[in-house]
Amino acid sequence: MSPPDADPDAAEQLAKLGLDELMVLVGRGDQGAFVPVYEAVSGPVLGLVRRVLRDPAQSEEVTQDVLVEVWRTAGRFRPEQGSALTWVLTLAHRRAVDRVRSSQARVERERRVALLESVPPFDDVVEQVETGLEQQQVRRCLQSLTELQRESVVLAYYHGLTYREVAEYLSQPLGTVKARMRDGLMRLRDCLYEGEVRP
């Protein structure tokens, strides 16, 4: 966001005011007062945002967002609660942290998608089972489970995911996954035991 063009006479009067006074005027919709505010805070805002984000392009984008937010929300500024610069830098820090969290969430989503794509087909999982039981019996017993039970067991025991990771991966509550996995393992145990003792 670029500052509006300032009237030379008005700019001279505004130059005599401090940043806090200017911010109060901006809060009342004074576009002319926003020019010196913009000039005073844009550098510190960009510096703070770059320290948080590191990425120059993202930092400039977030800085512009912050300056737009300053213009839109200046009416919330209260001089008795702190300086205008501190108020602006607080906005900037929040915006930068939000961007970091957003980026981290995107990376995590991409990681989950990659994990989903890397999960081998069901038959491949069964073929890799390292036990003395016949693969046919394991396949039959796993097929006897509900879909959620089977997915939970496969992800936890053949892919090494924790209960919490399984819950996140399947978009299910942690308690639900724990209960389904417990029930599934009991059914699996009963099915395999039944298969072992069958003549």
Closest CA to 190 of 148, 141, 155, 151: 141
Per-residue pLDDT tens over the stretch 116-129:
666 555 555 555 55
How many Å apart are CA 30 and CA 129, to the nearest integer? 72
Higher pLDDT, 7 or 48: 48
Rounded mean pLDDT of 49-62?
92
How many Å apart are CA 1 and CA 192, to the nearest integer? 67
Tell me the Ramachandran region of residue 161: left when phi exceeds 0, alpha when psi lies from -120 to 50, beta otherwise: beta
Confidence of residue 198 (pLDDT cuts 50, 70, 90): very low
How many Å apart are CA 61 and CA 109, to the nearest integer? 23
How many Å apart are CA 87 and CA 126, to the nearest integer? 59
Residues 71 and 26 sit within 8 Å (Cβ to Cβ): yes
Helix or strand holding residue 88 (H, E): helix 84-118
CB under 8 A, 24+ apart: contacts of 119-122: 119/154, 119/155, 119/159, 122/154
Per-residue pLDDT tens over the stretch 97-123:
998 888 888 888 888 777 766 655 555
- What pLDDT shows up at residue 85? 92
Q: Is residue 197 predicted with pLDDT exceeding 50?
A: no
Question: How many residues does the structure list for the chain?
Answer: 199
Q: Is residue 144 predicted with pLDDT exceeding 80?
A: yes
Residues 168 and 143 sit within 8 Å (Cβ to Cβ): no
When the pLDDT of each residue in the chain is averaged and rounded to a whole number, the result is 81
Q: Token pair for residue 178? A: 């724990």
- What pLDDT shows up at residue 116? 66
Report the range of poorest mean pLDDT among 8-12, 32-36, 55-59, 66-70. 8-12
